[in-house]
Amino acid sequence: MWIASFLPQLPLDLAFRRWPEALQENLRATVPLAIIEAKRVAWVSPYANDCGIAPGMSESGARTRSANVLLVPRDIEAEEKALTEAALWALHFTPEVALWPSGLLLDVTASLRLFGGVATIIDRLRTGFQELGLSASIAAAPTATAAWWIAQYDDGVMADQDTYTNLIDSLPITLIEPLHPHSETLKAIGCKTVGQFRRLPRVGVVKRFGKAALTDLDRCFGAEPELMAWYEAPERFCQRIELGARVETTELLLHSARRLLMQMTGFLTARFSAVTQFSLLLHHETVRLGKSPTTRIDIKLGAASRDLDHLTLLMKEHLAKVVLESSVIEMTLSADELEERAAPNTELFPTAASESEMLGRLIERLTSRLGPDAVTRIAITADHRPEKCTAHVAPIAGKTANAKNGLSGASFPPRPTWLLKTPLPLITRQNKPFYGAPLRLLIGPERIETGWWDDEVIARDYFVALNEALHLVLWVYRARISADDEEPGWFLHGFFA
């Protein structure tokens, strides 16, 4: 099954897309806009058409019909970039995406079961194109040529193996591109549809119109192979877009930022990867004058992800904290750190992976709102001194710091849940430590003698002790060497839960 996405108004869409989203609907209804190519009107907006402006007119002719007409030259380079944006979005649904003049072709045969059928893929594909500011006519058929012809003629058609033959036969013959130079000849003999052309003698068709038209016809019905040059996602993602107007507030930047995120998630899907850190660069107007650097927003994730809605939420949280010193004219999004990640499986019950992802998303939202220093986790450090064997570090996506320093499998004797910041000196009665009542030593001693390298030497024998009167389990130690030349004694260092 093939899906064709034809973008018939691509130059017009790009012209309107230069304005902020909030203004586009009003501009489409009040401003007559026409795209100029070779000093002739090539595309017109619906409002310009209502004003009497039609394709083929000269520039002066268009101005005589409407003094307010906005004439925009066609930008081929911008159209190619827009097709690349659309291709990156299409990579969400299949790796087999081919760029076509003014459109895309997608082989979704292997994706139908994953996404729940061709109708679901078309709906999601169309929604993404609308967010990108592109108007698409989308159709599906068993062959690429058939889908492309149908998409140029009608929108939303899904032809299966049994019905597409009759549908193709009813299409106008003008859809067969090699026959365009012979349109008057075909019209003179009464050949107007693809079905009528198919019934003509093939030998005579080759003599009069060439072999290319029959080749396209055979490809449409599966008699000739269709060779495609598949679009390949770049090795590294770094996309830049130019805003249509000077943006003064971060709220207006989110729509353009989401356009970049849609492309990045398509790139990640094609590369079987997920992002752990990405950055957004806001290019200010004063950059052109060499007065101000760009504003950089670094976004770190608690767990690797390529979920568009989740990344959009994080982007929104970070943009809300940015204060713009000057207006923004361009934006750049780059994926800085990636992690290999296969496509997620559907789960009936929560798994360790899904629970870890939920925790990671919570950490990300807290970090984005409270700041990177406000959210930390406890990690084991390479030090046997209890007060120095742990540290508060930033959350790390995926692997923990313990795995990096080789302590992930470390095993220790019993440790208390609550460790006192400063050990509490204890008195002794009958040569036993006393804390509200005499303590009975249960486990120990565990000797810890270290710290010579940083002048914080300790020499202690630790015990797990029981206070039977208060029903407390304590962690106490006997100092073998006093730090201030006092007599060694007993100290309370923690409480067990």
pLDDT on residue 145: 94
DSSP code of residue 212: H
Predicted confidence at residue 357, as pLDDT, reads: 60
Select from 3.30.1490.100, 3.30.470.20, 3.20.20.100, 3.30.1330.20 the CATH code of 238-348.
Answer: 3.30.1490.100
pLDDT of residue 244: 75
| CA proximity to 329, closest of 372, 374, 375, 282 | 282
The closest of 35, 38, 37, 42 to 17, measured between CA atoms, is: 35
Task: Please list, in sequence order, all residues whose beta carbon lies within 8 angstroms of the beta carbon of residue 351, skipping any fewer than 6 positions away.
Answer: none
- Give the model's pLDDT for residue 321: 86
Half-sphere exposure of 11 (CA within 13 A, CB side): 18
Question: What local confidence, expressed as pLDDT, does residue 363 receive?
Answer: 74
User: What is the rounded CA–CA span in Å between residue 68 and residue 30?
Assistant: 10
Pairing relationship of beta strands 137-141 and 157-158 according to DSSP bridges: parallel
Domain parsing of the chain, residue ranges: 2-80+87-220, 238-348, 418-495
The pLDDT assigned to 191 comes to 92
Q: Which residues of the chain have pLDDT under 70?
A: 286-292, 342-359, 361, 368, 396-411, 481-487
Report CA dihedral (122, 124, 130, 134) to the nearest 10 degrees.
-50
This prediction's pTM: 0.71
Q: What is the pLDDT of residue 450?
A: 85
Strand order in the sheet with 33-37: 40-44, 33-37, 70-73
